[in-house]
Structure 1
Protein backbone atom coordinates (compact mmCIF):
# COMPACT_ATOMS: atom_id res chain seq x y z
CA UNK A 1 0.00 0.00 0.00
CA UNK A 2 1.36 3.42 -0.96
CA UNK A 3 2.00 5.84 1.92
CA UNK A 4 -0.69 8.49 2.14
CA UNK A 5 0.33 12.10 2.77
CA UNK A 6 -1.63 15.20 3.74
CA UNK A 7 -0.28 18.56 2.56
CA UNK A 8 -1.52 21.71 4.30
CA UNK A 9 -0.98 25.18 2.85
CA UNK A 10 -3.16 28.17 2.02
CA UNK A 11 -1.56 28.59 -1.42
CA UNK A 12 -3.12 26.31 -4.09
CA UNK A 13 0.01 26.47 -6.25
CA UNK A 14 2.16 25.30 -3.35
CA UNK A 15 -0.22 22.40 -2.70
CA UNK A 16 0.00 21.39 -6.36
CA UNK A 17 3.81 21.44 -6.28
CA UNK A 18 3.99 19.36 -3.10
CA UNK A 19 1.37 16.89 -4.31
CA UNK A 20 3.11 16.36 -7.65
CA UNK A 21 6.51 15.90 -5.96
CA UNK A 22 5.13 13.30 -3.54
CA UNK A 23 3.15 11.43 -6.15
CA UNK A 24 6.23 11.03 -8.36
CA UNK A 25 7.84 9.23 -5.40
CA UNK A 26 4.98 6.80 -4.89
CA UNK A 27 2.83 8.65 -2.36
CA UNK A 28 -0.86 9.32 -2.62
CA UNK A 29 -1.60 12.84 -1.47
CA UNK A 30 -4.58 14.75 -0.09
CA UNK A 31 -4.55 18.50 0.46
CA UNK A 32 -6.12 20.94 2.88
CA UNK A 33 -6.15 24.75 2.61
CA UNK A 34 -6.04 25.34 6.37
CA UNK A 35 -5.38 23.62 9.68
CA UNK A 36 -9.06 23.18 10.55
CA UNK A 37 -9.74 21.24 7.35
CA UNK A 38 -6.55 19.26 7.92
CA UNK A 39 -7.65 18.24 11.41
CA UNK A 40 -11.07 17.16 10.15
CA UNK A 41 -9.42 15.10 7.39
CA UNK A 42 -7.07 13.38 9.82
CA UNK A 43 -9.96 12.40 12.06
CA UNK A 44 -11.65 10.61 9.16
CA UNK A 45 -8.73 9.14 7.17
CA UNK A 46 -5.51 7.22 7.62
CA UNK A 47 -2.53 9.52 7.13
CA UNK A 48 1.10 8.36 7.01
CA UNK A 49 2.69 11.79 6.70
CA UNK A 50 1.72 15.44 7.26
CA UNK A 51 3.47 18.33 5.52
CA UNK A 52 2.25 21.71 6.70
CA UNK A 53 3.19 25.35 6.60
CA UNK A 54 4.20 26.85 9.93
CA UNK A 55 1.86 29.80 9.45
CA UNK A 56 -1.32 30.20 7.43
CA UNK A 57 -3.86 33.04 7.64
CA UNK A 58 -6.34 30.76 9.40
CA UNK A 59 -4.12 28.89 11.83
CA UNK A 60 -0.68 27.89 13.04
CA UNK A 61 1.02 24.73 11.83
CA UNK A 62 2.80 24.56 15.19
CA UNK A 63 -0.55 24.59 17.01
CA UNK A 64 -1.80 21.81 14.75
CA UNK A 65 1.37 19.83 15.48
CA UNK A 66 0.71 20.17 19.21
CA UNK A 67 -2.89 19.11 18.69
CA UNK A 68 -1.85 16.02 16.71
CA UNK A 69 0.68 14.99 19.34
CA UNK A 70 -1.76 15.79 22.13
CA UNK A 71 -4.23 13.36 20.57
CA UNK A 72 -1.61 10.62 20.83
CA UNK A 73 -0.78 10.41 17.13
CA UNK A 74 2.81 9.65 16.13
CA UNK A 75 2.30 10.39 12.43
CA UNK A 76 5.49 11.90 10.93
CA UNK A 77 5.23 15.69 10.50
CA UNK A 78 7.35 17.94 8.26
CA UNK A 79 7.03 21.70 8.70
CA UNK A 80 7.55 24.27 5.96
CA UNK A 81 9.30 27.35 7.33
CA UNK A 82 10.53 30.64 5.90
CA UNK A 83 14.26 31.18 5.54
CA UNK A 84 15.72 32.60 8.75
CA UNK A 85 12.74 31.70 10.99
CA UNK A 86 14.88 29.84 13.51
CA UNK A 87 12.43 30.41 16.36
CA UNK A 88 9.63 28.80 14.34
CA UNK A 89 11.82 25.82 13.50
CA UNK A 90 12.74 25.26 17.15
CA UNK A 91 9.16 25.77 18.32
CA UNK A 92 7.94 23.30 15.72
CA UNK A 93 10.46 20.65 16.74
CA UNK A 94 9.61 21.17 20.40
CA UNK A 95 5.92 20.77 19.53
CA UNK A 96 6.68 17.35 18.07
CA UNK A 97 7.53 17.85 14.39
CA UNK A 98 10.00 15.34 12.94
CA UNK A 99 11.68 17.53 10.34
CA UNK A 100 11.41 20.85 8.53
CA UNK A 101 12.05 22.24 5.07
CA UNK A 102 13.03 25.86 4.54
CA UNK A 103 11.34 27.93 1.85
CA UNK A 104 12.16 28.36 -0.96
CA UNK A 105 12.71 24.65 -1.54
CA UNK A 106 12.94 22.28 -4.47
CA UNK A 107 10.10 19.77 -4.93
CA UNK A 108 12.69 16.99 -5.01
CA UNK A 109 13.98 17.99 -1.57
CA UNK A 110 10.47 17.76 -0.13
CA UNK A 111 9.92 14.34 -1.72
CA UNK A 112 13.24 12.96 -0.50
CA UNK A 113 12.70 14.25 3.03
CA UNK A 114 9.20 12.78 2.97
CA UNK A 115 10.59 9.39 1.96
CA UNK A 116 13.24 9.58 4.68
CA UNK A 117 10.88 10.54 7.49
CA UNK A 118 8.40 7.80 6.58
CA UNK A 119 11.20 5.26 6.20
CA UNK A 120 12.44 6.15 9.69
CA UNK A 121 9.16 4.96 11.17
CA UNK A 122 10.09 1.42 10.08
CA UNK A 123 12.12 -0.49 12.67
CA UNK A 124 15.76 -1.16 11.92
CA UNK A 125 16.47 -4.88 11.83
CA UNK A 126 19.46 -4.65 14.14
CA UNK A 127 17.65 -2.64 16.83
CA UNK A 128 14.25 -4.32 16.95
CA UNK A 129 14.45 -5.27 20.63
CA UNK A 130 16.78 -3.88 23.29
CA UNK A 131 16.88 -4.33 27.07
CA UNK A 132 18.92 -2.24 29.50
CA UNK A 133 18.10 -2.83 33.14
CA UNK A 134 14.43 -1.96 33.55
CA UNK A 135 14.29 -0.24 30.14
CA UNK A 136 12.79 -2.22 27.25
CA UNK A 137 12.64 -0.99 23.66
CA UNK A 138 10.61 -2.76 21.00
CA UNK A 139 11.13 -0.89 17.74
CA UNK A 140 8.94 -3.28 15.78
CA UNK A 141 5.99 -2.43 18.06
CA UNK A 142 7.14 1.23 18.23
CA UNK A 143 7.15 1.31 22.03
CA UNK A 144 9.44 1.59 25.03
CA UNK A 145 8.71 0.67 28.65
CA UNK A 146 10.29 1.42 32.00
CA UNK A 147 9.63 -1.15 34.73
CA UNK A 148 6.76 -2.49 32.66
CA UNK A 149 5.00 0.85 32.13
CA UNK A 150 4.81 2.43 28.66
CA UNK A 151 6.84 5.57 27.95
CA UNK A 152 5.00 8.06 25.75
CA UNK A 153 7.42 8.86 22.92
CA UNK A 154 7.10 10.26 19.42
CA UNK A 155 8.69 8.22 16.60
CA UNK A 156 11.66 10.60 16.55
CA UNK A 157 12.18 10.39 20.31
CA UNK A 158 11.97 6.60 20.14
CA UNK A 159 14.55 6.47 17.36
CA UNK A 160 16.97 8.66 19.33
CA UNK A 161 16.49 6.54 22.45
CA UNK A 162 17.00 3.37 20.38
CA UNK A 163 20.25 4.63 18.86
CA UNK A 164 21.59 5.70 22.26
CA UNK A 165 20.52 2.38 23.81
CA UNK A 166 22.24 0.42 21.05
CA UNK A 167 25.47 2.20 22.08
CA UNK A 168 24.72 2.34 25.82
CA UNK A 169 27.62 3.56 27.93
CA UNK A 170 29.47 4.94 24.92
CA UNK A 171 29.57 8.43 23.49
CA UNK A 172 27.42 8.89 20.39
CA UNK A 173 28.67 11.79 18.28
CA UNK A 174 25.92 14.14 17.17
CA UNK A 175 26.72 13.46 13.51
CA UNK A 176 26.32 9.72 14.09
CA UNK A 177 23.05 10.35 15.92
CA UNK A 178 21.87 12.48 13.03
CA UNK A 179 22.77 9.77 10.53
CA UNK A 180 21.21 6.88 12.46
CA UNK A 181 18.09 8.54 13.90
CA UNK A 182 17.29 10.95 11.07
CA UNK A 183 18.84 9.00 8.16
CA UNK A 184 20.60 12.12 6.92
CA UNK A 185 24.01 13.76 7.06
CA UNK A 186 22.61 17.24 6.34
CA UNK A 187 24.04 19.31 9.19
CA UNK A 188 21.99 22.45 8.48
CA UNK A 189 20.09 23.17 11.68
CA UNK A 190 21.01 19.73 13.03
CA UNK A 191 22.26 20.92 16.43
CA UNK A 192 18.98 22.65 17.24
CA UNK A 193 16.96 19.71 15.96
CA UNK A 194 18.90 17.19 18.06
CA UNK A 195 18.90 19.38 21.18
CA UNK A 196 15.15 19.90 20.96
CA UNK A 197 14.53 16.18 20.51
CA UNK A 198 16.80 15.22 23.41
CA UNK A 199 15.09 17.83 25.60
CA UNK A 200 11.68 16.30 24.83
CA UNK A 201 13.04 12.78 25.30
CA UNK A 202 14.39 13.61 28.75
CA UNK A 203 11.08 15.16 29.72
CA UNK A 204 9.16 12.06 28.66
CA UNK A 205 11.57 9.76 30.48
CA UNK A 206 11.12 11.80 33.65
CA UNK A 207 7.34 11.60 33.31
CA UNK A 208 7.70 7.81 33.13
CA UNK A 209 9.61 7.79 36.42
CA UNK A 210 13.15 7.64 35.04
CA UNK A 211 16.03 9.91 35.93
CA UNK A 212 16.28 12.25 32.92
CA UNK A 213 20.02 12.43 33.61
CA UNK A 214 20.46 8.98 32.08
CA UNK A 215 20.71 10.83 28.77
CA UNK A 216 23.99 12.64 29.33
CA UNK A 217 25.40 15.47 27.24
CA UNK A 218 29.01 14.97 26.22
CA UNK A 219 30.41 18.43 25.72
CA UNK A 220 31.68 19.09 22.22
CA UNK A 221 30.79 15.59 21.07
CA UNK A 222 27.23 14.33 21.51
CA UNK A 223 25.28 12.20 23.98
CA UNK A 224 25.56 9.05 26.08
CA UNK A 225 22.89 6.80 27.59
CA UNK A 226 23.78 5.41 31.00
CA UNK A 227 21.20 3.10 32.60
CA UNK A 228 21.96 1.78 36.12
CA UNK A 229 22.19 -2.01 36.14
Structure 2
Protein backbone atom coordinates (compact mmCIF):
# COMPACT_ATOMS: atom_id res chain seq x y z
CA UNK A 1 0.00 0.00 0.00
CA UNK A 2 1.33 3.47 -0.85
CA UNK A 3 0.91 5.75 2.16
CA UNK A 4 0.13 9.40 1.51
CA UNK A 5 3.08 11.68 2.06
CA UNK A 6 2.70 14.31 4.85
CA UNK A 7 4.48 16.79 2.61
CA UNK A 8 1.61 16.63 0.12
CA UNK A 9 -1.25 16.08 2.55
CA UNK A 10 -3.37 18.78 0.90
CA UNK A 11 -3.22 16.98 -2.47
CA UNK A 12 -6.32 14.93 -3.43
CA UNK A 13 -6.09 11.33 -2.23
CA UNK A 14 -7.31 8.57 -4.59
CA UNK A 15 -8.16 5.03 -3.50
CA UNK A 16 -7.29 2.40 -6.15
CA UNK A 17 -9.11 -0.91 -5.63
CA UNK A 18 -7.97 -3.86 -7.76
CA UNK A 19 -6.66 -7.34 -6.91
CA UNK A 20 -4.07 -7.29 -9.74
CA UNK A 21 -0.84 -5.89 -8.29
CA UNK A 22 0.57 -4.83 -11.65
CA UNK A 23 -2.64 -3.00 -12.51
CA UNK A 24 -2.71 -1.07 -9.22
CA UNK A 25 0.96 -0.13 -9.71
CA UNK A 26 0.31 1.26 -13.20
CA UNK A 27 -2.81 3.15 -12.13
CA UNK A 28 -1.13 4.57 -9.02
CA UNK A 29 1.85 5.65 -11.12
CA UNK A 30 -0.36 7.40 -13.69
CA UNK A 31 -2.32 9.24 -11.00
CA UNK A 32 0.70 10.24 -8.93
CA UNK A 33 2.58 11.67 -11.91
CA UNK A 34 -0.47 13.85 -12.56
CA UNK A 35 -0.17 15.40 -9.11
CA UNK A 36 -2.36 13.08 -7.05
CA UNK A 37 -1.71 10.87 -4.00
CA UNK A 38 -2.86 7.27 -3.89
CA UNK A 39 -3.56 4.41 -1.54
CA UNK A 40 -4.38 0.94 -2.83
CA UNK A 41 -6.55 -1.98 -1.73
CA UNK A 42 -6.77 -5.51 -3.15
CA UNK A 43 -10.34 -6.26 -2.00
CA UNK A 44 -13.57 -4.65 -0.85
CA UNK A 45 -12.90 -5.24 2.85
CA UNK A 46 -9.58 -3.36 2.73
CA UNK A 47 -11.20 -0.63 0.65
CA UNK A 48 -13.91 -0.11 3.25
CA UNK A 49 -11.31 0.25 6.01
CA UNK A 50 -9.43 2.89 4.01
CA UNK A 51 -12.63 4.75 3.21
CA UNK A 52 -13.34 4.95 6.93
CA UNK A 53 -9.82 5.98 7.99
CA UNK A 54 -8.49 8.14 5.14
CA UNK A 55 -9.77 11.38 3.53
CA UNK A 56 -10.46 9.69 0.17
CA UNK A 57 -11.63 12.12 -2.54
CA UNK A 58 -11.93 9.67 -5.46
CA UNK A 59 -12.21 5.89 -5.81
CA UNK A 60 -10.92 3.95 -8.85
CA UNK A 61 -12.72 0.64 -8.46
CA UNK A 62 -12.40 -2.64 -10.35
CA UNK A 63 -15.70 -4.49 -10.86
CA UNK A 64 -14.21 -7.96 -10.34
CA UNK A 65 -12.92 -8.23 -6.75
CA UNK A 66 -12.22 -11.48 -4.86
CA UNK A 67 -14.66 -10.87 -2.00
CA UNK A 68 -17.39 -8.62 -3.42
CA UNK A 69 -18.50 -7.09 -6.69
CA UNK A 70 -17.21 -3.60 -7.28
CA UNK A 71 -20.72 -2.66 -8.36
CA UNK A 72 -22.06 -3.76 -4.97
CA UNK A 73 -19.32 -1.87 -3.17
CA UNK A 74 -20.15 1.23 -5.19
CA UNK A 75 -23.84 0.85 -4.40
CA UNK A 76 -23.25 0.52 -0.65
CA UNK A 77 -20.80 3.42 -0.71
CA UNK A 78 -23.48 5.60 -2.26
CA UNK A 79 -25.69 5.01 0.77
CA UNK A 80 -23.29 6.92 3.02
CA UNK A 81 -20.99 8.97 0.80
CA UNK A 82 -20.91 11.04 -2.37
CA UNK A 83 -17.19 10.42 -3.05
CA UNK A 84 -16.73 10.11 -6.85
CA UNK A 85 -16.17 6.61 -8.27
CA UNK A 86 -14.58 5.48 -11.54
CA UNK A 87 -15.40 1.81 -12.28
CA UNK A 88 -12.99 -0.47 -14.16
CA UNK A 89 -13.88 -3.80 -15.72
CA UNK A 90 -12.57 -6.34 -18.20
CA UNK A 91 -16.12 -6.82 -19.46
CA UNK A 92 -17.47 -4.70 -22.28
CA UNK A 93 -21.16 -5.48 -22.35
CA UNK A 94 -23.62 -2.60 -22.15
CA UNK A 95 -25.40 -4.25 -19.22
CA UNK A 96 -22.25 -4.06 -17.09
CA UNK A 97 -21.77 -0.40 -17.92
CA UNK A 98 -25.38 0.38 -17.11
CA UNK A 99 -25.20 -1.58 -13.83
CA UNK A 100 -22.15 0.38 -12.73
CA UNK A 101 -23.57 3.76 -13.59
CA UNK A 102 -26.90 2.85 -12.01
CA UNK A 103 -25.04 1.91 -8.81
CA UNK A 104 -23.77 5.48 -8.64
CA UNK A 105 -20.45 5.44 -10.48
CA UNK A 106 -19.37 8.78 -11.94
CA UNK A 107 -17.43 7.28 -14.83
CA UNK A 108 -16.65 3.90 -16.39
CA UNK A 109 -13.64 2.48 -18.26
CA UNK A 110 -13.32 -0.93 -19.92
CA UNK A 111 -9.99 -2.81 -19.74
CA UNK A 112 -7.65 -2.54 -21.50
CA UNK A 113 -7.58 1.24 -21.20
CA UNK A 114 -5.02 4.03 -21.40
CA UNK A 115 -3.65 4.89 -17.93
CA UNK A 116 -3.25 8.47 -19.11
CA UNK A 117 -6.91 8.60 -20.12
CA UNK A 118 -7.84 7.34 -16.66
CA UNK A 119 -5.63 9.99 -15.05
CA UNK A 120 -7.21 12.74 -17.15
CA UNK A 121 -10.71 11.57 -16.28
CA UNK A 122 -9.73 11.49 -12.60
CA UNK A 123 -8.41 15.04 -12.88
CA UNK A 124 -11.62 16.22 -14.53
CA UNK A 125 -13.78 14.68 -11.80
CA UNK A 126 -11.59 16.09 -9.00
CA UNK A 127 -11.44 19.48 -10.66
CA UNK A 128 -15.21 19.69 -10.48
CA UNK A 129 -15.30 18.72 -6.82
CA UNK A 130 -12.04 19.95 -5.26
CA UNK A 131 -10.56 22.54 -7.61
CA UNK A 132 -7.47 22.34 -9.81
CA UNK A 133 -4.81 19.65 -9.52
CA UNK A 134 -1.14 19.83 -10.45
CA UNK A 135 0.40 18.53 -13.67
CA UNK A 136 4.07 18.51 -14.66
CA UNK A 137 4.99 21.55 -16.74
CA UNK A 138 6.55 20.86 -20.13
CA UNK A 139 10.04 22.12 -20.87
CA UNK A 140 10.62 22.94 -24.44
CA UNK A 141 12.79 23.79 -27.42
CA UNK A 142 12.54 22.78 -31.05
CA UNK A 143 14.36 19.50 -31.66
CA UNK A 144 15.10 17.92 -35.04
CA UNK A 145 16.06 14.31 -35.65
CA UNK A 146 16.02 13.62 -39.37
CA UNK A 147 12.39 13.88 -40.58
CA UNK A 148 11.22 14.21 -36.95
CA UNK A 149 10.60 17.70 -35.54
CA UNK A 150 9.47 18.19 -31.94
CA UNK A 151 8.48 21.49 -30.33
CA UNK A 152 7.60 20.57 -26.73
CA UNK A 153 7.03 24.19 -25.73
CA UNK A 154 4.71 24.82 -28.65
CA UNK A 155 3.03 21.46 -28.15
CA UNK A 156 3.62 20.12 -31.66
CA UNK A 157 5.53 17.33 -33.38
CA UNK A 158 5.74 16.29 -37.02
CA UNK A 159 7.17 13.51 -39.13
CA UNK A 160 8.40 14.49 -42.60
CA UNK A 161 6.18 17.55 -42.55
CA UNK A 162 3.01 15.82 -41.31
CA UNK A 163 1.86 16.84 -37.85
CA UNK A 164 1.53 14.09 -35.24
CA UNK A 165 -1.47 14.22 -32.91
CA UNK A 166 0.20 13.46 -29.57
CA UNK A 167 -1.03 13.96 -26.01
CA UNK A 168 1.19 16.19 -23.86
CA UNK A 169 3.06 13.42 -22.03
CA UNK A 170 3.79 11.47 -25.23
CA UNK A 171 5.08 14.68 -26.77
CA UNK A 172 7.37 15.26 -23.78
CA UNK A 173 8.65 11.68 -23.98
CA UNK A 174 9.36 11.99 -27.70
CA UNK A 175 11.16 15.29 -27.13
CA UNK A 176 13.35 13.78 -24.41
CA UNK A 177 14.36 10.89 -26.68
CA UNK A 178 15.00 13.24 -29.62
CA UNK A 179 17.17 15.42 -27.38
CA UNK A 180 19.67 12.55 -27.03
CA UNK A 181 19.07 10.93 -30.42
CA UNK A 182 21.50 8.09 -31.01
CA UNK A 183 22.06 7.54 -27.28
CA UNK A 184 20.04 5.39 -24.88
CA UNK A 185 18.14 7.37 -22.25
CA UNK A 186 17.83 5.40 -18.97
CA UNK A 187 14.38 4.55 -17.66
CA UNK A 188 14.99 6.51 -14.46
CA UNK A 189 15.94 9.59 -16.46
CA UNK A 190 12.74 9.37 -18.50
CA UNK A 191 10.64 9.00 -15.36
CA UNK A 192 12.33 11.95 -13.65
CA UNK A 193 12.39 14.34 -16.60
CA UNK A 194 9.13 13.46 -18.36
CA UNK A 195 6.88 12.54 -15.44
CA UNK A 196 8.71 14.32 -12.62
CA UNK A 197 8.97 11.22 -10.44
CA UNK A 198 11.65 8.80 -9.25
CA UNK A 199 9.11 6.01 -8.72
CA UNK A 200 9.86 2.95 -10.84
CA UNK A 201 7.05 0.71 -9.54
CA UNK A 202 4.54 0.74 -12.39
CA UNK A 203 6.73 3.20 -14.27
CA UNK A 204 8.46 0.60 -16.42
CA UNK A 205 5.14 -0.67 -17.79
CA UNK A 206 3.85 2.87 -18.21
CA UNK A 207 6.87 3.90 -20.31
CA UNK A 208 6.70 0.66 -22.32
CA UNK A 209 3.02 1.17 -23.18
CA UNK A 210 3.60 4.81 -24.13
CA UNK A 211 6.55 3.89 -26.36
CA UNK A 212 4.28 1.35 -28.08
CA UNK A 213 1.63 4.02 -28.73
CA UNK A 214 4.26 6.43 -30.06
CA UNK A 215 5.56 3.79 -32.46
CA UNK A 216 2.07 3.01 -33.73
CA UNK A 217 1.24 6.65 -34.39
CA UNK A 218 4.53 7.30 -36.16
CA UNK A 219 4.31 4.09 -38.18
CA UNK A 220 1.03 5.42 -39.57
CA UNK A 221 2.98 8.41 -40.94
CA UNK A 222 5.68 6.29 -42.55
CA UNK A 223 8.29 6.27 -39.78
CA UNK A 224 10.42 3.10 -39.49
CA UNK A 225 9.27 0.60 -36.85
CA UNK A 226 12.62 0.80 -35.06
CA UNK A 227 12.74 4.59 -34.84
CA UNK A 228 12.50 4.21 -31.05
CA UNK A 229 14.51 1.24 -29.83
CA UNK A 230 14.57 -0.55 -26.50
CA UNK A 231 18.23 -0.97 -25.51
CA UNK A 232 18.56 -3.93 -23.18
CA UNK A 233 19.73 -2.88 -19.73
CA UNK A 234 20.10 0.77 -20.78
CA UNK A 235 16.73 2.31 -21.63
CA UNK A 236 15.27 3.67 -24.88
CA UNK A 237 16.94 5.33 -27.84
CA UNK A 238 15.71 7.38 -30.80
CA UNK A 239 17.64 6.46 -33.95
CA UNK A 240 19.47 9.15 -35.88
CA UNK A 241 18.03 9.26 -39.38
CA UNK A 242 18.88 11.40 -42.42
CA UNK A 243 16.47 14.14 -43.34
CA UNK A 244 14.02 13.53 -46.17
CA UNK A 245 12.13 15.83 -48.44
CA UNK A 246 8.76 15.10 -49.97
CA UNK A 247 8.46 15.60 -53.69
Q: State the TM-score bracket (shorter-chain normalisation).
A: 0.5 to 0.7
- Inter-partner Cα distance in structure 2 for 1:227 and 1:54: 43
- Inter-partner Cα distance in structure 1 for 2:187 and 2:121: 18
For residues 92 and 17 of structure 1, do their structure 2 counterparts lie closer, same or farther at Cα, with a shift above 3 Å needed? Answer: same
Higher strand share: 1
SS in 2 for 1:131: strand
Tell me the residue number matched to 2:190. Answer: 177
Query: What is the TM-score normalised by the length of structure 2?
Result: 0.50
Tell me the residue number matched to 1:191. Answer: 204
> Where in structure 1 are there 5+ consecutive unaligned residues?
8-12, 20-32, 34-50, 64-87, 102-106
The structure showing larger relative contact order (alpha-carbon pairs under 8 Å, at least 6 residues apart) is: 2
Cα contact 1:169–1:226 (8 A) shared by 2: yes
Tell me the residue number matched to 1:123. Answer: 138
What is the aligned residue count? Answer: 146
Q: Deviations over 1:114-162 (max 9, x none)?
A: 42xx22xx331xx321111221111122110111110121212111101
Tell me the residue number matched to 1:226. Answer: 239
- The structure having more radius of gyration, on CA atoms, is 2
Is residue 146 of structure 1 aligned with residue 197 of structure 2?
Answer: no
- Inter-partner Cα distance in structure 1 for 2:172 and 2:227: 16
Query: What is the TM-score normalised by the length of structure 1?
Result: 0.54
- State the shift of 1:190 in Å: 1.1
Higher helix share: 1
Q: Deviations over 1:76-126 (max 9, x none)?
A: xxxxxxxxxxxx5xx33367455899xxxxx9xxx9xx42xx22xx331xx
For residues 153 and 52 of structure 1, do their structure 2 counterparts lie closer, same or farther at Cα, with a shift above 3 Å needed? Answer: farther
> Where in structure 2 are there 5+ consecutive unaligned residues?
1-11, 15-50, 59-73, 75-83, 89-96, 243-247
Query: Given the alignment, which residue of 42, 50, 57 partners 1:18?
Result: 57
- State the shift of 1:216 in Å: 0.4
